[in-house]
Amino acid sequence: MTWDTEEFNQLVQQQLSPHSISLLQPPLDSISWKFFLCRYHIAEANRILSEAITQVKEREPTKPLRVALMQLQGTDESWMLFTAYRLAEAHTIAFAQALHSTADMMAQVLCISLRLNRLFKPQENRYLNVVVDRMSQHGVAPSVVTAVTSFLKSNEFLYLRAYVNTTKHISLVPASYTYRLVPGQDQLLVMIEAFKYRNENWPEKALADFIGADFERLSTMFDAIGIELTAVVHPPH
C-alpha cells in the first residue's frame, strides 16, 4: 500500500497554521522528488549494464556470452565493461544518497505535522532516530514510532546507511572488472564489495539486489510510516 501524500497534505492543512504549512511543504515535496530520483538512477544503472551485454553479444554473435566476455578481458575493448561498471556504480551511489536523505525529510514532516518542536531545544538535531526517540519518550503517536523503528532497524536501512557513509570516501566496485553472470541469464552480476563501517562488517552484495529488492522493501516500510502518520492526523469521525 502506497502513502497518499496528497491526502496527508490536505488533512494537515486543516490543522496547521499557514506558517507551519509553508514549512511542511518543502520536505514533503522533496520526499516524492527523492523517490523519483531513486527510480531514475535504478533505471539508468540497469540500462547501462544491459546495453553493455548487448554490445558484447553484437561483437561476437556466434559465441556463448561467457566465452565472449572471457575473450574480451585484456583487450582494448575491455574499457567498455569497465566504463559500464563505473557508470552503474555512479548511479548506485546517487540512488543510495537520495534514498538515505528521505529519512531526515520524514523527520521534518513528523516534527511539523505533529507539532514536536516543543520537545526540542532550538539548536537540537532533529534526525529521524532522534525524533522517534523523543516521540517514544513522550508517548506521541505510538503506531508511527513502531513503523519508524522498523524502518531504521531493518537490515536494508542499516546497510544503506553504511554504504552511503562509506562511499563518500572509497569505491566499493572493483577497479578492474571481473565479469560474473547471473546464473541462467545473460545479465552482468556486478557485486558491491564487502566493507567495514563503524567496526561492523558488511558482506558482499549484488548491486541488483541493492537497487532492486532492498529498495522495494525500504519503500514499503517508508510508506508504512506515512500511512500511520496519516491515520494519526486524520480527524475522528
Name which of 132-146, 179-193, 207-221 the model is least confident about.
179-193
Intra-chain end-to-end CA distance of the chain, in Å: 23
Q: Is the dihedral of CA 235, 31, 221, 145 positive or negative?
A: negative
- Three-state DSSP string of 14-32: CCCCHHHHHHHHHHHHHHH
In this prediction, residue 77 carries a pLDDT of: 72
pLDDT band, residue 184 (cuts 50/70/90): confident
User: How far apart (Å, rounded) are the C-alpha atoms in residues 184 and 186?
Assistant: 7
**Does the pLDDT at position 22 exceed 90?**
yes
pLDDT surpassing 70 at residue 177: no
pLDDT in tens, 67-119: 877 787 777 677 888 888 889 999 999 999 999 999 999 999 999 999 999 99
Structure-block grid coordinates of residue 196:
567495514
Cell readout for 133 is: 526517540
What pLDDT, in 10s, does the model give residues 154-165? 999 999 999 999
Q: What secondary structure letter does DSSP report for 188?
A: B
Count CA atoms closer than 13 A to 31's CA, side-chain side: 23
44: buried, middle or exposed (CB in 10 Å: 19+, 13-18, 0-12)?
middle
Per-residue model confidence (pLDDT) at position 42: 98
